[in-house]
Amino acid sequence: MESLGPEAPLEYSHFPPIEDYAFLSDCDTTALVAPDGGVEWLCLPRMDSPSVFGALVDRDAGRFRIAPSGVEVPAARRYIPGTLVTETSWWAAGGWLVVTDALVMGPWHHETKRSPTHLRAPTDYEAAHVLLRVIRCVNGKVQVNMECSPVFDYGRSPVEWEYVNGGYREAVAKAEGSDLELRLTTDMNVGFEGPSATARTLLKEGDRRFVALSWSDHAPPRELAEASDALRWTCHHWQHWLDRGRFPDHRWRGHLQRSALTLKGLSFAPTGAIVAAATTSLPETPGGERNWDYRYTWISDTVATLWA
């Protein structure tokens, strides 16, 4: 198993150390997942766009959490080996639950019309513009809570939810003055509580559910089978990319591969540029002053990355 890090404490904190966040990427944007299962950083539609989930820097700036009811601390967290896909394992009083998270990579979409943003030669893969969360009950029975509470523009623009396409399993979030539209699709019944889209359901051993949050014209998963295929495709993408590298057969190989995946995840696919970090407004040291926006490409950092 490829742990998220032996030094990462699992104790719940309102502001976890930055090294305890899991890192997701589709090479168009990135997301950070807190130890308690909350997506606390996601900027859309690009890495340098304003955040829709910004609890990393402001607890009122939006987050997206899936977890067993009444449980704050997971039993274990890991990356699926060779990928930027994470698994969070939960123990509740009645059973065990696993939540798998990914920013989906899909097949190349531009078959009849050229992309207006990609400046590089096309590949077999492209960002699907979907944050996907798949829930699986391993044994027993577990009450699951989902709460999706986006706030656009770094926490300054509250959203309003509305149902679309009939039923209770697809909804759209919009904010005044913004062209961005978030579409939530799931196989659970969704309700609205103020600015949050919520769902609660009891899962039994073998049950699986999914929640997909999308922000483009590409069709999001609307069935569990589609979500499973998207997850499988994403894992294959990262493992296939990693297979192109040369890594020595010794005890530190996993760390080298994880570093390579992280650097790749910080690259912007349309141009190939590499950002210095996925975040902004975090000082170099606690209480420090250098809390700049690091979602830029520095020549020195890019050279070091290419050397690596």
232 is a domain residue: yes
The pLDDT of 43-59, averaged and rounded, is 96
Q: Read off the pLDDT of residues 81-99 as tens digits, 9 standing for 90 and up.
A: 999 999 999 999 899 999 9
* Average pLDDT across the chain, whole number: 90
DSSP-assigned letter for residue 219: P
Query: Where in the sequence is the domain holding 106, given as residue range(s)?
Result: 2-250
11 is a domain residue: yes
pLDDT band at 114 (very low <50, low <70, confident <90, very high): low
pLDDT at 287: 73
pLDDT at 123: 64
pLDDT band at 7 (very low <50, low <70, confident <90, very high): very low
pLDDT band at 173 (very low <50, low <70, confident <90, very high): very high
**Burial class of 230 by CB neighbour count within 10 A (0 to 12, 13 to 18, 19+):** buried
The pLDDT of 192-206, averaged and rounded, is 97
9 is a domain residue: yes
pLDDT at 233: 95
pLDDT at 13: 47
135 is a domain residue: yes
Residue 202 predicted with pLDDT over 70 = yes
Whether 248 and 265 have beta carbons less than 8 Å apart is answered as no
Q: Residue 39 sits in a domain of what CATH number?
A: 2.70.98
Helices (H), 34-151: none
265 is a domain residue: no
pLDDT at 8: 47
The pLDDT of 113-130, averaged and rounded, is 70
pLDDT at 111: 62
255 is a domain residue: no
Number of domains in the chain: 1
- Kindly state the tokens that stand for 7: 């030094």
The pLDDT of 143-162, averaged and rounded, is 97
Calculate ∠ Cα 291-6-80, nearest 5°: 90
142 is a domain residue: yes
d(CA 44, CA 49): 5
Residue 115 predicted with pLDDT over 70 = no
281 is a domain residue: no
d(CA 259, CA 244): 15
Residue 286 predicted with pLDDT over 80 = no
**Residue predicted with more confidence, 161 or 304:** 161
pLDDT band at 112 (very low <50, low <70, confident <90, very high): low
Which of 36-50, 151-165, 263-277 is the least confident region? 263-277
pLDDT at 71: 95
pLDDT at 6: 45
| Chain position carrying tokens 């859309």 | 44
DSSP 182-202: EEEEESS--EEETTEEEEEEE
pLDDT at 120: 53
